Amino acid sequence: MDHLAKIGLFIPCYVNAVFPEVGIATYKLLKQLGIDVDYPVDQTCCGQPMANAGFEGKSLPLIHKFNDLFDTYDYVVGPSASCVAFVKENHPHILAAHGQHQCQMSGKIYEVCEFLHDIVKVEKFPGAFPHKVSVHNSCHGVRELHLSSPSELHTPRYSKIKDLLSLKEGVEVFEPQRVDECCGFGGMFAIEEDAVSVQMGKDKLRNHIATGAEYVTGADSSCLMHMQGIARREKLPIQFIHVVEILAAGL
Amino acid sequence: MKKETHIHAAERFLNNKKNAVWHDETLWQTRAKRDRQAALIPEWEQLRELASKIKMHTITHLDHYLEQFAAAAEKNGATVHWAKDAAEHNAIVLQILQQHQATQLVKSKSMLTEECHLNPFLIEKGVDVVESDLGERILQLMDIPPSHIVMPAIHIQREAVGKLFEEKLNTEKGNADPTYLTRAMRKSLRQKFLASTVAMTGANFGIAETGDVVVCTNEGNADMGTSIAKVHIVSMGIEKVIPSHDALSVFVRLLARSATGQPSTSYTSHYQKPQKEGELHIILVDNGRSSILADKDHIQTLKCIRCGACMNTCPVYRRSGGYSYSYFIPGPIGINLGMLKAPKNYYTNLSACTLCFSCNSVCPVQVDLGNQIYKWRQGLDSIGKANRTKKVMSDGMRMMFKQSGIYHAALKAAPLINLMPRALIYCKADKWGIGRELPQFAKQSFNSWWKKEVLKK
C-alpha cells in the first residue's frame, strides 16, 4: 500500500453511539500500522436501514452527503461489513436509478478486515489475546464483501477473518455448526419479524456456544448487538467482541 | 378474505417449539445433503453458470424455441394445446377427459396444476382426481395444500400419516412404520392406476429439438400412470422449454442434487410419442409468464427449475414453515412469484427475508432471489402497501442523519435512554425488547472521543 495514501474513517451511526470502542480500536490499529487516518466528523449514516425497509429514496440525501464527505480520501475504511457492503453494492445503483452521477465510493471503500488483509497486507499484530473465539460469518460480510467463501458455493475455502486472527498471539479460533447461517438481525427485520428473528438468534448462539468459545467475534457489530441482546436476556455464558478489537488488543 | 400476515403465521408456527425445531433441522439436513452432493462435482459452479446462461438464452428466445418444440412434438404424434391462462388450461383438460368419457384422472406431482387450481375445478365437474405422489396423496386425503414444492408433505410427521391411513386405508392402529404405510398406500393406489384411462403429469423440461417432455420423479408413479392409461396429458409452463438434450444434461446434473441431495432422481422419464392407439396431449401454459419476460427486474424468476433449494436454505422458511406464506409457493422463490402474480394480495410475504442472500448462492440457475425481494420492497410505498412504522422510522432517520447537527445532539442525548425506567422501554410497542435486551448507549460516543482525544491533541 502507498504510505502517502489518505484514509477516511467511516464509523457507522450505531457503532458511533453504541460501540465507540470498535471505532477507537479501528483508529488505533490503523494509526499503529503507520497509516494516515482522518475522521470526517460530519458523517452520519450510509442509508442502509431505510433502503432495506423499502425506502431507497429516503437514503438518497445521505448518499450524497457520504460522497461529499469522503470525496478527497484515497480509501474509506469502516468497521462494519454490512454498512460497507451497502455503500459498495447499493450506492451506485441507487444513484443511477435517480439519474445521478457515477458513484466514486464503490471502488475505494473497504471493511477494515478486508483492508488489513488485502491492501495493508499485515504480517503480525502486536500484543496477545489469549482467548477462545467463535467467528461469526455475517451474511453481508460473506456473501457481498467475500470476507470468506460462502458455504453454499463450491469454491476454494478461505476466511480473511481467520487469517487475520491467526496473526494475533494467543487467539484460539473456532467456527459454529452451520458456519454462515444468518443470525436473524436483518435491520428492520429484527423488529418487524421479531419472533423469527429472535429464534434465529437463539439458534445461532447455541451453535456459537457449543464451540466452547468465550467470545463471539465478527466484522459486523449489528449482528453482535442482536445476539448480545438475546444472550443478556437469556443469561447465556458468552461475550461479544468485534474482530478489530481483538487485533488492537493491548494498544 | 384477509389472509394472515407472514409475521403472525410465523409466530404461531414457532409457538409449537418441538415441531419448529424438527422442521428447521429436517430442512437443514436437506441443504447439508445438497452441499455434500455438490461438493463431489468439481465443476459445480461452472454448471450453475452454464445453466443460468442456457435458461436466460432460452427465455429470451422463447418464441423460437416454443415453436420448434411444438412442431417437433406434433411430428412425434402429440397434440399441442396453448393455454393463455389457468381457465383455458383447465377447460382443455376437462374437454380431453370428456372426449374419453373419463371420470377419473390419475396425476403425478405438478405445481402448475396447483397454480391453475385444477383439482377443485375438476372435482366440481364430477371427476375423481387422484394424486399419486405419496406426499401429494397424503395432502389430498387431509385436504390441505403442499407446504414445499418438492417435498410437499415435509411438515407432516409419520405418526400423523399413520393416523390418517387408519381412517382412510384401514391400516393397523398405532402403526406408523414408513414401509408399512407406503405399502398400504401402494396397494390402495394400485386400484386407481388400474382403473384409469387418462393420466396427467407435469413437466420438468421440454426439449425443443426433439419435442420430448422430461419428467423427474422418485416414486415411479408418473410412469405407472402413463403406462396404464392410454391418454397422457402433460401440463407444462412455457418457461420449461430448453433447446436440446445437451442442455438437458446440464440441468439433470443440477436438479436432484439441489432439490434433495440425490445424485439423480430415481426416474428421469422422456415422453416423446403417444402410446399405441393412445394420445399424448401437451398443454403449454402461459398464465402470466410472458408478461414477466418484459419485466427486467424480475425476468430471472423464469429461469427457476422448481428445485426448492432456496426454501431449504432459507433461515426464515425453515423457522416459519410453508403455510406462513400467503402464496401457494413459499420461500424466496414464492415471495417473488407471488408478487409477480398479484402484489396487493401477496405483499405481506416480503417481510420474510433478512437479505442474507443464501438463496442466491444455492440456486442452481443463479436467480437473484434476495436482490429481487429488496427491489419489491422499494415499490411497496407506490402501491400504498408500505409498513407505516417502517415508513415513520425511515422518515425519522432521514431527518436525523441528513443534518449532522441533529445527529450530534442525538448522539449526546442517547445515553439518557439507558436511564429510562425498564417498564417504559420494554413496553408492547418495543418489539426489539420482547425477546432481547436493548443495547446500551455508550457514555461517550465515538464522535465525542474523537473530538476530545484526537482533535484536541
Averaged pLDDT for residues A201-221: 98
pLDDT at B442: 93
pLDDT band at A116 (very low <50, low <70, confident <90, very high): very high
| Distance separating alpha carbons of residues A137 and A148, to the nearest angstrom | 8
Scanning A54-83 for CB atoms below 8 A from B yields: 54-56, 58-59, 61-62, 65
Residues of chain B predicted below pLDDT 50 = 1
Q: Looking at the partner chain, which of B390, B407, B451 has a beta carbon nearest the beta carbon of A44?
A: B407
Q: Which residues of B touch A178 (CB under 8 A)?
A: 28
Q: Looking at the partner chain, which of A153, A186, A191 has a beta carbon nearest the beta carbon of B354?
A: A186
The number of folded domains in chain A is 2
- Measured between CA atoms, how close is A57 to chain B, in angstroms? 9
Grid cell 398479484 — which residue? B342
The CATH homologous superfamily to which domain B69-290 belongs is NagB/RpiA/CoA transferase-like (3.40.50.10420)
Kindly give the pairing relationship between strand B198-201 and strand B241-242: unpaired
Q: Residues with Cβ < 8 Å from B372, sequence gap 6 or more?
A: B297, B298, B300, B301, B336
- Are A210 and A111 part of one and the same domain? no
Domain of A243: which CATH number? 3.40.50
A232/B24 CB distance under 8 A? no
Strand partners, A6: A36
The C-alpha torsion from B6 through B9 and B12 to B14, rounded to 10°, is -40
- Are A162 and A90 part of one and the same domain? no
Half-sphere exposure of B258 (CA within 13 A, CB side): 31
> Which stretches of chain A are assigned E, i.e. beta strand?
6-9, 36-38, 75-78, 109-111, 132-136, 172-174, 215-218, 239-242
Nearest CA in chain A to B42: A154
pLDDT at B310: 98
pLDDT at B424: 75
| Distance separating alpha carbons of residues B380 and B229, to the nearest angstrom | 48
Give me chain A's average pLDDT, please: 95
Single residue among A68, A88, A120 that ends a domain in this structure: A120
The C-alpha torsion from B176 through B177 and B178 to B184, rounded to 10°, is -80
Q: Locate B315 and state its grid cell.
A: 433461515
- Are A104 and A196 part of one and the same domain? no
Fold match between domain B1-60+298-383 and domain B69-290: no
- Give the type of residue at A13: C
- Are A49 and A71 part of one and the same domain? yes
Single residue among A89, A120, A151 that ends a domain in this structure: A120
Q: Looking at the partner chain, which of B313, B394, B414 has a beta carbon nearest the beta carbon of A17?
A: B414
pLDDT at B245: 98
Averaged pLDDT for residues A4-11: 94
| Distance separating alpha carbons of residues A185 and B435, to the nearest angstrom | 12
- Domain B1-60+298-383: which topology? Fumarate Reductase Iron-sulfur Protein; Chain B, domain 2 (1.10.1060)
- Residue A126 within a domain: no
Distance of CA B232 to the CA centre of its chain: 26
pLDDT tens digit sequence for A132-183: 999 999 999 999 999 999 999 999 999 999 999 999 999 999 999 999 999 9
Q: Residues with Cβ < 8 Å from B97, sequence gap 6 or more?
A: B103, B105, B122, B127, B198
- Are A114 and A140 part of one and the same domain? no
Q: Residues with Cβ < 8 Å from B215, sequence gap 6 or more?
A: B108, B201, B202, B203, B204, B222, B267, B268, B269, B271
Nearest CA in chain A to B319: A196
pLDDT at A161: 98
In degrees and rounded to multiples of 5, residue A78 shows phi and psi of -140, 150
Q: Residues with Cβ < 8 Å from B303, sequence gap 6 or more?
A: B52, B55, B56, B59, B239, B365, B366, B367
B44/A154 CB distance under 8 A? yes
- Are A236 and A137 part of one and the same domain? yes
pLDDT tens digit sequence for A55-114: 999 999 999 999 999 999 999 999 999 999 999 999 999 999 888 777 788 899 999 999
Scanning A99-128 for CB atoms below 8 A from B yields: none
- DSSP symbol at A159: B
- Are A81 and A179 part of one and the same domain? no
Q: Which residues of B touch A188 (CB under 8 A)?
A: 390, 393
- Residue A94 within a domain: yes
Grid cell 393412445 — which residue? B278
Please list the alpha-helical segments (H only) found in B40-117: 44-59, 62-75, 86-99, 111-115
pLDDT at B427: 76
Q: What Å distances lie between residue A147 and A82, A87, A227, B299, CA to CA? A: 11, 16, 20, 30
- Measured between CA atoms, how close is A186 to chain B, in angstroms? 4
- Measured between CA atoms, how close is A243 to chain B, in angstroms? 18
Averaged pLDDT for residues A101-129: 93
- Are A114 and A136 part of one and the same domain? no
- Break chain B into its structural domains and give their ranges: 1-60+298-383, 69-290, 388-455
pLDDT at B1: 45
Q: Could you report the predicted ipTM of this complex, rounded to two decimals?
A: 0.96
pLDDT at B251: 98
Q: Locate B90 and state its grid cell.
A: 383447465
3-state SS of B275-304 is CCCCEEEEEEECCCHHHHCCCCCCHHHHHC
pLDDT at B412: 87
- Measured between CA atoms, how close is A65 to chain B, in angstroms? 8
Show the domain range for A40: 6-120
Query: What is the enclosing helix (H) or strand (E) of B82?
Result: strand B79-83
